[in-house]
Chains A and B, each alone.
Chain A
Amino acid sequence: MKYYRAHVLICSGSNCAIKGCQTIKDALVAVLNKHELQSEIKVVDTGCLGWCEQGPSMVIYPEGVMYSRLKNSDMDEIVTEHLLKGRFVHRLMTQSTDTLGLASPLNMTPFFQKQRRVVLKNCGLINPERLEDYIHAGGYTALATALDKYAPEEIIAMVLDAGLRGRGGAGFLTGKKWSYTKAALGEPKYLICNADEGEPGTFKDRLILEGDPHLIVEGMAIAAYAIGASKGIIYVRGEYDLSIKRMEQAVLQARENGILGEGVLGSGFNFDIEVCAGAGAYVCGEETALIESIEGNRGEPRFKPPYPAEKGLWGLPTCVNNVETLANIPAIIENSPTWYRSLGTENSPGTKVFTLTGNITNSGLIEVPMGITLREIIYDIGGGIPQGRRFKMAQTGGTSGGCLAEEHLDLPMDYDSLASHGSSLGSGALLIMDDSHCILDLTHCFLKFFVHESCGKCTPCREGTPALYKLIGKMTAGQGNQDDLELIHRLARTMQDSSLCALGQTAPVPVLSAFRHFWPEVEAHMTGNCLAHKCFSGRGSKHDH
């Protein structure tokens, strides 16, 4: 095996790719070649480091120094100073990694210190395109252990004991879902990995697939073994080109090396995975709509029951799990359910991957133990609100989640605490907004999304979403009245009670949470005043001319 004296890991996740990480890499390789260092220093593409705001980024090991906001012209200095003379290039180190002019190792920076990386453990450390890298980092040992040491029932029991809940949004106990599919009659059984990530503000599954695709292959193989599925499908959003490419590559590598196909790792268990691309429809994230889409139809949700566990894909028993849910499985098998329960809270064990967006200094991808407070995420990890502005609200769980106000900053981030405040943990999207934003203007924006994405199958959602959008629009125009308010409440209740799927049931959530937590601001619009000066064409009051 060849040894290198230094490794340069370049983040090649989608967010850094947009910022030009490929040209950075080309420029670095050119400078290394010029100095004839190519046999001493290895350049590696890796998955998302999480600090998307600071991209394009790289980490140089063994020192663990992170350089950010890189330009092609910086490569000369990095090579001649850091790699040749051993002196850090302080101007390219982010402020928090460079306290008092001394480099602090990556894991000691505030951004990483409060994180606990279980799902993202390999992101930013290995080359996702190499099976060898994944195996070297301990990959596929959990699958081997599962096949060798445990019966399928024992695996399900372990996942139940760990208390893992679905990370796609609904938070249903994964072990329970598995046991239903296992008990159902019909062959073959299907395991579907739901990677149709479409919740606005969410990009965690994309970066997991890009950064560590073999983790998903391993998680799927263990899940399939537990429920007795022989066929796996990973349904990836059509827009996620790199995710599709990396998954197809990982599946191929796994198949060529006996990890997928007939007799997985030499056992009697057969399992293979097919990668399937979506065609652009948010509602396909709903599991029965997703199944319809795989069957080649309009992605409209089905009536439930029967649930997919009994009659799913092609009418056969099917289990649908989110990417992040499956990414937790290998760690549970490897470290035990008790270990998993030591992370997070009693009712929400483990970690959660969040995506930070909006008015926040460090937007990006983070993984933290469940139960951490919103304040710690925003101020310690996220670096606070930029441009000297004040925190106003955070929307948790994506556009179908509720908005929380300043008084909720110390709320623990777990399934139950957020639900009790009219919001949800959902997919882990965290949209942070400063005091320049108007709650009604944003609510209007949230509703526009639902109008566009409602599939049209059931009346409450098809008719309700545009009606709500129109009513809120009337209020942002300063024309709302008392009757409208009552209508909004009635409509919201009807949609929540009678919509066929979660899309229509959750579309009113942002409206209701706005009314609950920001009532004075909503009410001011009734008298023609927008406190944030956003509505009425930015005049703040419809009376000013």
Chain B
Amino acid sequence: MIEAPNKRSAQIDVFVGQPGGMLKALHALQSQSEANFLSPADIKLVASKFGVPVAKVWGTVTFYSLFATTPRGRHIIRVCENAPCHVVGASDILAALEQHLKIRAGGTTTDGLFTLEATSCLGVCGVAPAIMIDSTVYGNLTKEQLPALLAEYRQEAQA
């Protein structure tokens, strides 16, 4: 569903005029987007509201890894692939997820439920290897645990 532009606009009015408000506006827009991303229309909207060139907003959005410019699945799976997770088997976790979901890192499942992203350190290395699904972190993972974990999200989507 495409929301009316004036509704999107109202979501960010509060940040206009705030020092450094642009990032906050982008966070707000993305968190309320159904497909978890910032569309070209969103980016144009922010540029006009903040009175800056579209290129500047585009440059800012693509700089930060928490922002996306293409539609993503309902749930974002982020797999840490840095050294502390790597030494305890993160590459097996990523490979198992790719196999299970039948997508490569960066891709979205055909049912639109999951997007798989390889990411930098999530800061929970005490329980490596770790992944994050949306804002929930899962740690001390083995590849055997993954199917059951994903099944929970699938069930929830069907409910």
**Interface residues, chain A, CB within 8 Å of chain B?**
14-15, 17-19, 52-53, 55, 197-203, 206, 237-241, 276-282, 293-300, 314, 355-359, 363-365, 395, 399, 429, 431, 433, 437, 442, 445-446, 448-449, 452-453, 455
Q: In whole angstroms, what is the CA distance A433 to B84 when docked?
A: 9
B51 interface contact, C-beta 8 A: no
Of B60-68, B93-101, B148-156, which binds chain A?
Answer: B60-68
Residues of A within 8 A of B125 (CB): 200-203, 355, 357, 363, 429
Residues of B within 8 A of A453 (CB): 120
B79 interface contact, C-beta 8 A: no
Residues of A within 8 A of B130 (CB): 18
Residues of B within 8 A of A201 (CB): 82-84, 121, 125
Q: In whole angstroms, what is the CA distance A197 to B130 when docked?
A: 17
**Is B124 in contact with A15, judged by CB distance below 8 angstroms?**
yes
Give, as a whole number of angstroms, the nearest-CB distance from A330 to chain B: 24
Give, as a whole number of angstroms, the nearest-CB distance from A135 to chain B: 29
Residues of A within 8 A of B63 (CB): 281, 298-300, 455
**Is A445 in contact with B83, judged by CB distance below 8 angstroms?**
yes
**Is A446 in contact with B83, judged by CB distance below 8 angstroms?**
yes
Q: In whole angstroms, what is the CA distance A278 to B66 when docked?
A: 9
Give, as a whole number of angstroms, the nearest-CB distance from A326 to chain B: 18
Give, as a whole number of angstroms, the nearest-CB distance from B110 to chain A: 27
Which of B64, B66, B137 lies in contact with A14, CB distance below 8 A?
Answer: B137
B22 interface contact, C-beta 8 A: yes
Which of A52, A199, A278, A455 lies in contact with B126, CB distance below 8 A?
Answer: A52
Q: How many cross-chain pairs have Cβ atoms below 8 Å apart between A and B?
A: 140
**Is B120 in contact with A282, judged by CB distance below 8 angstroms?**
yes
B128 interface contact, C-beta 8 A: yes
By size class, the interface of chain B is 35 or more
Q: In whole angstroms, what is the CA distance A452 to B120 when docked?
A: 8
Q: In whole angstroms, what is the CA distance A91 to B124 when docked?
A: 27
**Is B123 in contact with A279, judged by CB distance below 8 angstroms?**
no
Given contacts A52-B126, A279-B23, A295-B20, contact A200 B84 (CB under 8 A): yes
Within 8 A of A (CB), among B57-106: 59-60, 63-67, 81-84, 86-88
Among the interface residues B22, B126, B140, which one has the most CB atoms of the partner chain A within 10 A?
B126
**Is A449 in contact with B66, judged by CB distance below 8 angstroms?**
no
Given contacts A201-B83, A358-B87, A358-B88, contact A296 B23 (CB under 8 A): yes
Q: In whole angstroms, what is the CA distance A379 to B123 when docked?
A: 24
B35 interface contact, C-beta 8 A: no
Q: In whole angstroms, what is the CA distance A237 to B66 when docked?
A: 11
Q: In whole angstroms, what is the CA distance A241 to B67 when docked?
A: 16
Q: In whole angstroms, what is the CA distance A186 to B81 when docked?
A: 44
**Is A296 in contact with B22, judged by CB distance below 8 angstroms?**
yes
Give, as a whole number of angstroms, the nearest-CB distance from A466 to chain B: 16
Which of B67, B121, B137, B139 lies in contact with A199, CB distance below 8 A?
Answer: B121
Q: In whole angstroms, what is the CA distance A203 to B130 when docked?
A: 13
B135 interface contact, C-beta 8 A: yes
B5 interface contact, C-beta 8 A: no
**Is B65 in contact with A294, judged by CB distance below 8 angstroms?**
no
**Is A281 in contact with B83, judged by CB distance below 8 angstroms?**
no
